[in-house]
Structure formats: C-alpha cells, structure tokens
Amino acid sequence: MSDPAEKSHEVANPEMPLVHAVNVMKSFHDNQVLKGIDMDVHKGQVICLLGPSGSGKTTFLRCINQLETIDGGRIWVDGELMGYKDRDGTLYRLDNKAIAAQRREIGMVFQRFNLFPHKTTLENIMEAPMQVKGEKKAQARERANALLARVGLLDKPYAYPSQLSGGQQQRVAIARAMAMSPKLMLFDEPTSALDPELVGEVLAVMRELAKEGTTMIVVTHEMSFAREVADRVVFMDGGVVVEQGDPKSVIDNPQHPRTKSFLHRIEAKPQAVEHVPESLEEAILAEQRLQELPEEHYLQGDE
C-alpha cells in the first residue's frame, strides 16, 4: 500500500495521542465499511462508540488491533504504527510475529464471553501471561488473584465458565484481558448478551477501570454508561464519524439528524441500567435484592 500524499502524518512523536487513527478505510469486497475514520484517544480517556448495526464499529475495533488489515489510512497505538512498517511513505505489512507482539498490548472484551471452557477462572487469567510472556506460575497466580479481587470474584478461582453467570464470566474476561497489562482496552458491546440484572456489575467493573486511568474504547448501547463514564462519545453511521463530543451534549442535544434518529430509537428501548453503580459491591447488592423480590413485585414495578 503506498500513499505518498500522507507522508506528513508518518512520524510518531511524543505528543501523539495513545490512539491516533487517520483516514482509516476498510472494504469487504465491494462493500466499503470504513470510509475514512479519524480518531484520537488520549491516555486515560474513555471513548464510547455508538452507531446503528452495520455502521462499522466492530470493524474499526478489529482494525485497531489488526484482526483486520486496512486498505487506507494509518493507526498508531502508543506511537507504533499498527500492522505496517513505513518506508518513505510506502507501507509494508509486518510479519505475524510482529503483529502478535503489537496485539499483546491491547486487551479486547467481546459481546460473548469467550473464555476457555475447560479452564478454571484462575487458569483462564493465568494462561496468556504464562504462555505468551513467560511469567512464572507463582507470579501469574499472584497477579490473577489481585485481578480477581478487582472484579469481585475472589470466591470463584476454581469455577469453570459453565458454573458462572454471564456477568461473572464477563468479569473474568475483563480480568483475563487486564492480566496482560494492556495499554488500551477495547470493549465490543460487553453487556449486550447479558440478562438485564447482570449488566450493572459489568459496567461497575468498567467504571472502576476508567477511574484507575485505563484507556478504553467502548462500543455500547448503554447510554447511562456513555453519559456518566465517557470522556467523549463518537457516533458512527455508514462508515464515517457523523458527530462526536462531550457525552452530555451529544446524547442530550445531538446536532446531526442521523444522531437524533439513532438516539431516539435507542432511548425508546428499555435500558438495562439507569445509573452505573459506583462500585461493584453496590451492583452486586442491587442484583441480589432484585433476585429476592417476588415475581409480582417486578410486574408492579413495570407498570
């Protein structure tokens, strides 16, 4: 891929944001899915990516960590050009080993908790640090336990995924991604496959990560999370960024008709949480209270 016109963008500099995406393009056959995405994410920022189905949100995340090649533009993460080497304006694809090394710096949590089914919680979390980074077992275990404490699962080290709720599995998935000490966390609709009462506990963990300064790009339809936790909301449609800005202004006062109609549709649907719990303890208590309520109580509450 060669694009001399972009030469001025090439050199990484210390001022560069943690994620610096310029004019990213991606097609699948003749379907152009990303039509020139620009995005800057500074260290410690939380960006929420919103947009209708098919707008290219997942594809963009997959381009950032090079699960997809790109057809145009450039993406830097922490000053490193992702997936390519630049020689005088011509890009050459890096070999698989170099790409794997770049990918290691980025944690990803998907909609479906894809834990290893035959490994326990602890084994799931310890696997990559030991296999990929060559960490000693004792050290990996110590870190895994610290992560389990952070995601509120110290009591489940030996449980298999099938013995955990969806919310617990997703918290293990977050701990597993964090075990590699990533520079950047990508979340692709991490709560959309969960029963509504389990959403709060996962969002609470994500809120904690944000408070601790984790840089995150989060695709989500949970507007309370976007409103309360994001530093910036980016609305994509048809492979372009249509509108972005401070969450309250974009969500409460969208300017573009496409943003307006999307938010209208989203907000007409019941949201899993009205408010992101301040802590995991608060989320779990709320969940337990919900489970203790007799069924008729729910029905009355819905009226």
Q: Give the strand order in the sheet containing 72-77.
A: 31-41, 19-28, 72-77, 80-81
SS3 label, residue 187: strand
- Answer yes or no whether residue 55 interacts with ligand ATP by CB under 6 A: yes
Q: Which listed residue (19, 37, 58, 164) binds ligand ATP by CB under 6 A?
A: 58
- Answer yes or no whether residue 168 interacts with ligand ATP by CB under 6 A: no
Closest by CA to 176, choosing from 150, 207, 197, 200, is 150
- Answer yes or no whether residue 13 interacts with ligand ATP by CB under 6 A: no
In angstroms, what is the minimal distance from the CB of 248 to ligand ATP? 23
Q: One symbol per residue from 28 to 67: x for binding Mg ion (CB under 5 A), - otherwise; what is it?
A: ------------------------------x---------
In angstroms, what is the minimal distance from the CB of 290 to Mg ion? 28
Helical (H) or strand (E) element with 130: helix 121-131
In angstroms, what is the minimal distance from the CB of 218 to Mg ion? 12
- Answer yes or no whether residue 265 interacts with ligand ATP by CB under 6 A: no
Q: What tokens does 200 get?
A: 């709060």
| Residues ≥6 apart with Cβ < 8 Å to 211 | none
What are the φ/ψ torsions at residue 10 (nearest 5 degrees)?
A: -70, -40
> What distance in Å separates the CA atoms of residue 45 and residue 215, rounded to the nearest whole number?
5
User: By CB under 6 A, what part of segment 30-49 binds ligand ATP?
Assistant: 31, 33
Residues that bind Mg ion (CB under 5 A): 58
Residues that bind ligand ATP (CB under 6 A): 28, 31, 33, 51, 53-59
